[in-house]
Chain A
Amino acid sequence: MPKLIKNGGIIDNAFIWQQDPEQKVTPNSIIAAQKWLSEKDTIGCVAGIWLDAGDGIEFLQDVDLTQFDVIGVNFPAFTDGRGFSYARLLRERLNYQGEIRALGHFIPDQLGYLLRVGFNSFQFNEEVDLEKALALHKPFSIAYQGDVSDPRPIFLRR
């Protein structure tokens, strides 16, 4: 079973990230959020949904997110920073408490930033050495800005 990094450890990945809309949906599937929204009445139980860059989070405003074990965010390129805001808004604005998983083309050197905006699991490409990636988990012990784990900026913490 493929592995991923979650909550600071390497674990087995129990879910299937479905990128192909034709693929059969199972209770382990993480399916495209837009697809889920339009077909949710017929689609059955899923583990979660994933957001594509450009989706935004507004369309999830009235959705009960507690039904998902995981919400994925796809990075089409690791230089595409839109997904950073999605995670943060899922946490701060939609109050989503479950797993937020980074998917697609992000790199281990971004872990520090990704953690701060609310991601807690990371499904890397196969060629990434997860042990080495884990070593990059927390590059900075402090931060100037508030973030998802502590909304207070530095001036409230000095």
Chain B
Amino acid sequence: MYQYDAIDQQLVDERVAQFRDQTRRYLNKELSEQEFLPLRLQNGLYVQRYAPMLRIAIPYGMLSSTQLRKLADISCRYDRSYGHFSTRQNLQLNWPKLEDVPDILAELAQVEMHAVQTSGNCIRNTTTDQYAGVIADEIVDPRPYCELIRQWSTFHPEFAFLPRKFKIAVNATESADRAATQVHDIGLHIKKNDAGEIGFKIIVGGGLGRTPMVGVTICEFMPRKDLLTYLDAIIRVYNQQGRRDNKYKARIKILVKALGIEEFRNRVDAEWAHLKGKESTVPMSEFDRLTSFFSEPAYAALENKPEILSSKLADSAGFARWYERNTFEHKKPGYRIVTLTLKKAGQAPGDATSDQMQKAADLSDKFSFGELRVSHEQNLVLADVRQEQLVELWEAAKEAGFATPTLGLLTDMICCPGGDFCSLANAKSIPIAEQIQETFNDLDYLFDLGNIDLNISGCMNACGHHHVGNIGILGVDKKGEEFYQISIGGASGHDASIGKILGPSFAQEEISTVIQKLMNVYVENRSEDERFIDTYRRVGITPFKEAAYAKAN
């Protein structure tokens, strides 16, 4: 895991001091509301429906147990004893007091954490695959590259006031894209060329929100040494030419779409010609330095499927189910990647109590070298668990509410905080998640349905990524009443696509019935082992639409 040196620490400490002064001046009315707004946003502080919301950065989703304990402690002492893990691998606190935020930040700085650029019109926290470094088919570990981007983007003097927010995600495997890179402002795919050199396929102009788009490739292979100069060029073009007259048309996707990728690429290349090969070209020594922070932990030489695991798999259907769904193959024999799900019925997806955070930290110490990751799907991951300890971990995870064996299934939903917390939302999203969890509580049935991404957003801003859910649910407001629009056919992996809206929106109480009807169409039409998304792609929207809107008689 990356560890701060004196420079990193000093910057974060100075940021705390700066924000403490800004908060003081705001409370003294020396800074206007309007002036304080972007300053606090660049420090992750929103003013929400009931209280400020503080979004704490978890760079590329990596957490040490010490850091998670600190988050538990902070959420307990400054908030209501829980936090919300977001799709961008951050942690959001929903009830901090504005006056307390400088103290919270100072405490975070003690464990090498901060809230820098987690909001505002600047380059946000870079995200990546939660299985980075431990999966077999990875080209290289993307985390050193994420850290490089973190540093380059932190307090970038030229790009702190972009037309709109700017999100970058990195992926390094051919078999999966767990970071939804194609729906980011910039998606980076780490590649190795025929000469064995590492570089990036660069995708630009993806995004969700009001105008969802899958990004387009601007460059097939950019050598890694040129990454930062090329990113500078892309963002400089965007900063200069992106629209500033209308915030809904200000994202880079609109610029790329308006110019066409050819013209956009030409402009970036023209800019890059001035930057290529200059000081920001990254030397090999820096890649080596960053890579050294992500070296392998002290793995033991182990055999796959030890006796204790095999016998438990044979004896316990519950364990076998959890093993099959919530654990994932590790590159090292005798190890397994384990997801601690935050999707227990009755708890908002992605929420963790302070107590759960403490427990997850304890589990990581005991079973996974004291490290955790936060996933795009709002779960926690223990990346390096000995297979011989899986049974023990399962028991402990069950006790803490982390073992709902539904990873990747219909009820492993992505869900934004919605109208219960967020002042932007048009509708609540958490009660919809609850309704679906209650309805689809038969594990055998869920297993039979297989992998389905269901994403819920409380408004057009699409924090719940509804556009790229195989099933997407969007809260809409109709004359003061909350309704829900359903789309199907979205996907966020290498096969990214934007879902199609089924038709008129539904009342809140109808949602789980409609989802049930969609599942029936799927089950009737699927060929063996065909995923929901593939059936949809084969048979089209019509049968789903007909079923969803069919009258009871």
Contact = CB atoms under 8 A, between A and B. Distances in A.
Interface string A113-157: 100110000000000000010001001111111110001111110
Given A81-B160, A81-B161, A145-B152, A139 B279 contact: no
A82 B242 CA distance: 10
A139 B18 contact: yes
Contacts of A80: 161, 244
Interface in A82-101: 82, 84-85, 88, 93
Interface residues of B, number: 41
Nearest to A92: B274
A85 B239 contact: yes
B18 A116 contact: no
A144 to B, nearest CB: 4
B121 interface: yes
Contact of A147 (B7, B31, B157, B159): B157
Nearest to B228: A153
Interface in B9-34: 10-11, 14-15, 18, 21-22, 30-31
Interface residues of A, number: 35
Interface string B155-168: 11111111100000
Contacts of A147: 157
Contacts of B39: 109
B438 interface: no
Interface in B239-288: 239-240, 244, 274, 278-280, 282-283, 285-286
B161 A146 contact: no
A146 B157 CA distance: 9
A112 B18 CA distance: 11
Contacts of B239: 81-82, 84-85
Contacts of B152: 144-145, 153
Nearest to A147: B157
A107 B7 contact: no
Contacts of A156: 279, 283
Contacts of A145: 152, 155-157, 280
Contacts of A93: 274
B5 interface: yes
A80 B152 CA distance: 21
Contact of B157 (A107, A141, A143, A154): A143
B35 A82 contact: no
Contacts of A136: 21
Contact of A144 (B31, B154, B158, B285): B154
Contacts of A139: 14, 18
A142 B7 contact: yes
Contacts of A151: 278-279
A84 B121 CA distance: 14
B22 A109 contact: yes
B279 A152 contact: yes
B279 A85 contact: no
B151 interface: yes
Contact of A141 (B10, B154, B158, B161): B10
Contacts of A8: none
B223 interface: no
B346 to A, nearest CB: 41
Contact of A155 (B11, B15, B156, B282): B282
A85 B228 CA distance: 16
A78 B161 contact: yes
Given A81-B161, A145-B156, A158-B5, A107 B35 contact: yes
Contacts of A143: 11, 155, 157
A42 interface: no
A38 interface: no
Nearest to B281: A153
**Counting chain A CB atoms within 10 Å of each CB, which of B121, B236, B240, B285 scores highest?**
B240
A155 B161 contact: no
A141 B278 contact: no
A153 B154 CA distance: 12
Contacts of B21: 136
B5 A117 contact: no
Given A56-B240, A116-B157, A145-B155, 7 more contacts: A81-B163, A84-B158, A84-B239, A93-B274, A109-B31, A152-B279, A155-B282
8 contacts: A81-B162, A84-B157, A85-B236, A109-B39, A140-B11, A143-B11, A154-B7, A155-B283
Top 6 nearest A-B pairs (CB, nearest first) are A81-B161, A116-B157, A155-B286, A144-B151, A151-B279, A113-B157
